[in-house]
Amino acid sequence: MVKSFFKERRPHNGMTYDEFVQRMVEKARVAESITPEDDEQLYYTRLNYQRTSRIQKTYQVSERLKELLQGINQPQLWMVLTEAWCGDSAQTLPILAKMTECNPNIQLRILLRDENLDIMDQYLTNGTRGIPKLVAFDEVGNELFTWGPRPREAAELYRQLKAEGKEKEEIYLELHKWYAKDRGKSVEKEFMKILEQLNQK
C-alpha cells in the first residue's frame, strides 16, 4: 500500500543534497565561535560540515557498487530523514549522495526529521527515531528497501559501548574513529547486498 505522505509528494518536495549542504554551510557560519554549552546542535552542525566536506572530496564509489547502481533501470526516489547536527549522517549521507550520482534514475531527497516526525515514526529503529534513515521507493510509491541509521558494525559498536556504561561523548568519539578507519566500506558492502537482491527481483 502506498503511504499517504508519498501521495502528498512530501518526499519529492524534500531538499536536494546540495540544498541540504548549503543549509549546513549557513549554520556552520553562524556557529564559528559557538561551544557545545552555547548551542549543542549548532556546534555539532559545524563539526559535521567539516566531516561531510572531507568525505565529499575523498570518497569514490567502488566499481562493483557502481555497476549495481547503474543496473537500476526504473526511477527510484531515495528519501533520507536526517538532521544537520547528526554525526552518523555526516559520515554516511555524502556516500549515499555519491551513489545516487551514478544513475540519473535515482533521485535523492532529504527531509528534516524534526519537521516530519509523522513520517519518522513509521521507520523507527528499535523504537527510536534513529537517523539518518533512508527509504527507497519506486515511481508509484512502493517501498523497495530501507537502510540506516548506521552500518551494522557501527550499530554493534554503539550497543557494546553503551552496555559498558560509556558516556555519550566517548561513544561518539569511538564511533567517529570507526567511521574514519572504515572509509565507507561497510556502507558499500550493505548496499551491494541490498542492490544484488533488488536487481534479482
Instruction: For the full predicted model, state whether its pTM sits above 0.85.
Output: yes
Domain positions in the chain: 4-149
Name the residue type at position 94.
P
Rounded to 10°, the helix 63-70/185-200 angle is: 30
Third-level CATH fold of 4-149: Glutaredoxin (3.40.30)
User: How far apart are the C-alpha atoms of 103 and 105, rounded to whole Å?
Assistant: 5
Going edge to edge, which strands form the sheet with 106-112? 106-112, 76-82, 133-138, 143-147
Instruction: Extract the runs of DSSP E, i.e. beta strands, from the chain.
Output: 76-82, 106-112, 133-138, 143-147
For the stretch 34-55, pLDDT in tens is 666 567 888 888 889 999 999 9
* Residue 25, pLDDT above cutoff 80: yes
Cα dist. 198→112, 131, 137 in Å?
27, 23, 12
- What residues pair up with 134 in beta bridges, in sequence order? 80, 147
Q: What does the alpha-carbon distance between residue 139 and residue 148 come to, in Å, rounded to a whole number?
A: 22
Give mean pLDDT, residues 166-174: 94
What pLDDT does residue 33 have?
65
